[in-house]
Amino acid sequence: MIKEVCLGTSLAVLIFLTILGYNVVPLLLLGGLGVFLFLMLDRKGLGASSGSNSYAQPVNFTFDDIGGQAPAKQELKEALDFVLHAPKIIEMGIRPLKGILLTGPPGTGKTLLAKAAAAYTNSVFLAASGSEFIEVYAGVGAQRVRQLFKTARERAVREKKGGAIIFIDEIEVLGTKRGTNAGHMEYDQTLNQLLVEMDGLRSNERARLLVIGATNREDMLDSALLRPGRFDRVVSVDLPDKAARCSILRLHCRNKPLGEDVDLDQVARESFGFSGAHLESVTNEAAILALREEQPTISNRHFKEAVDKVMMGEKLDRKPNQDELYRIAVHESGHAVISELLRPGSVSHLTVANRGRALGYMRQIPEDDRYLYTKESLVKQIRVYLAGAVSESIILGARSTGATSDFNQAVQAARQIVTAGLSPLGIVCEEIMSKDMLHQAIQEIVQQQEKEVAGMLDGHLDTLKEISSLLVEQEYISGTTLQERIEQAKLEKQAPLEV
């Protein structure tokens, strides 16, 4: 409104001066320069008007729209109850909660939790990212922090809400330990301003403000930020377990037509280690695949391919020559046969299609979500990793460079056996153990397992060859087909020879 009045008055004055015969060109130039400067400063946040800003976001998100994360939701709700029952809190002489820090890996739903917190407390929601505060110009970041708090207060009052939630994502960018960014006073000034603003929060203000910070690098934060009285609640937002993955998948499938063969429990089982963002992407990719094939519904096949895509990357058009293709098939069949022999039903599928950096791959179905490993399970993993290269040696007489990452994984698992005190060396201290000794212990484990794998594959040579040829022919073999072939071979071995 003020802008419109100023513009109108200036125009009227200019017209009046022109009528009186004055040269208005210098005035026009001067005015243009002024407007340009004002717009520049406004963009940088120095001249931001209190009425509008880019941080404010409408909130129509509740805790029910977030899958899993039950402990984080519970903890957050408990903390928010302090905000909801402010009068009681004041009566009891409890100081207000000023900040809540959400920590956890990317894509686990920290932003969603902050939005739901705003709806839960009927607050205005303002979101900003730590990087938005850092500029080359000294003082701009601090000014933006001041402006953000001011806007939050004003909006909460104007919209007649109880308060406002200020969500700062990637808070580690502006909250790094002071002095870390040597020679860059801007970082320290910005953080100081945030500390000052948080210290100034009172429970008896007309608009109660709560700062929710999110980070996946809590270790980088300045201790002043974490001390009681600032972010005094730290809520950990972890990767979802199987049940949580299933509920996230269900949430994102609410608006999608699913085929009858879709088993979201199975998709959840196969997506161990995925974050909520990964799972959202799986449901989206599955729907895109179905659309591409002009199918009316999304089927199980689309979900399997979507998991592969999210895990390994887009399918590539690289076409290996026939010899290479057979080698890749032999390699993947080796992994699959050993996996199936060690744990029947463990293979989801194997393929020689190129995806991301892989020329082919065998995907296992995780037994269940696991956070601890016994020596036996680590040894089994090592066998599966080594089986690709061993299979190449047995069938093709030589190995290729395709096993490098398998070896790295096998070595990591063997290293875990040694450092966790599960090897014949017993409990060891890795720091004072010589590198030679560690290397030798790892090598012994790996070489021993290499021999075991060779023995196992020798006993299933026909199946291995059959699967490899089938894979070249069909590009894709399901775990069920693999199981059937292995069972068939067992029966044939047991059957008495016909004379």
Q: Rounded to whole angstroms, how far apart are CA atoms 44 and 186?
A: 14
To the nearest whole angstrom, how small is the minimum distance from the Cβ of residue 313 to ligand ATP? 19
In angstroms, what is the minimal distance from the CB of 132 to ligand ATP?
A: 13
CA distance 138 to 186: 5
- Nearest distance from C-beta of residue 111 to ligand ATP, angstroms: 3
Q: Which of 106, 179, 273, 313 binds ligand ATP (CB under 6 A)?
A: 106
Number of residues that bind ligand ATP (CB under 6 A): 19
The H or E element spanning position 129 is: strand 123-129
216 near ligand ATP (CB under 6 A) = yes
Strands 208-215 and 361-364: unpaired
Pick the stretch among 51-59, 116-124, 225-233, 276-284 that binds ligand ATP (CB under 6 A): 276-284
Residue nearer to ligand ATP on the CB measure, 69 or 351 = 69
Nearer to ligand ATP, 253 or 453 (CB): 253
- Cα–Cα dist 100/302, whole Å: 40
Among 43-51, 178-186, 257-265, 275-283, which window interacts with ligand ATP (CB under 6 A)?
A: 275-283
Among the residue ranges 194-202, 273-281, 419-427, 451-459, the one whose residues contact ligand ATP (CB under 6 A): 273-281
Integer angstrom CA distances of residue 384 from 340, 347, 380, 389, 452: 9, 11, 6, 10, 11
123-129 vs 163-169, strand pairing mode: parallel
171, 195, 248, 414: residue in contact with ligand ATP (rule CB under 6 A): 248
What order do you get walking across the sheet with 123-129 strand by strand? Answer: 56-57, 123-129, 163-169, 208-215, 99-103, 231-236
Token readout for 280 is 């959202």
Out of 75, 170, 332, 340, which one is annotated catalytic? Answer: 332
Helix H segments across 159-200? 171-175, 185-199
Choose the stretch contacting ligand ATP; rule: CB under 6 A; options: 79-87, 110-118, 131-139, 260-268: 110-118
- List helix spans (H) across 294-431: 300-312, 322-342, 375-396, 404-419
Name the residue nearer to ligand ATP (CB basis): 103 or 348.
Answer: 103
Minimum distance from residue 472 beta carbon to ligand ATP (Å): 38
Return the range that interacts with ligand ATP (CB under 6 A); candidates 87-95, 109-117, 373-381, 447-455.
109-117
8 Å CB contact between 376 and 396: no
Choosing from 276, 360, 402, 479, the residue that interacts with ligand ATP (CB under 6 A) is 276
Residues 320-359 that bind ligand ATP (CB under 6 A): none
Q: Phi then psi for 266, rounded to 5 degrees?
A: -65, -40
Please check whether residue 482 is in contact with residue 365, taking contact to mean a CB–CB distance below 8 angstroms.
no
- Residue 154 bears catalytic tag: no
Question: In the complex, what is the shortest distance from the CB of residue 72 to ligand ATP, in angstroms, rounded to a whole number?
Answer: 9
Q: Which strands sit side by side in the sheet containing 361-364, from one edge to the other?
A: 361-364, 347-351, 476-478
Least distance from ligand ATP to the Cβ atom of residue 272, Å: 16
Asked if residue 206 lies in contact with residue 161, where contact means CB atoms within 8 angstroms, the answer is no
Looking at residues 51 to 70 of the shown chain, list those that interact with ligand ATP (rule: CB under 6 A): 66-69
Residues in contact with ligand ATP by the rule CB under 6 A: 66-69, 106-112, 169, 214, 216, 248, 251, 276-277, 280
**Enzyme catalytic residues:** 332
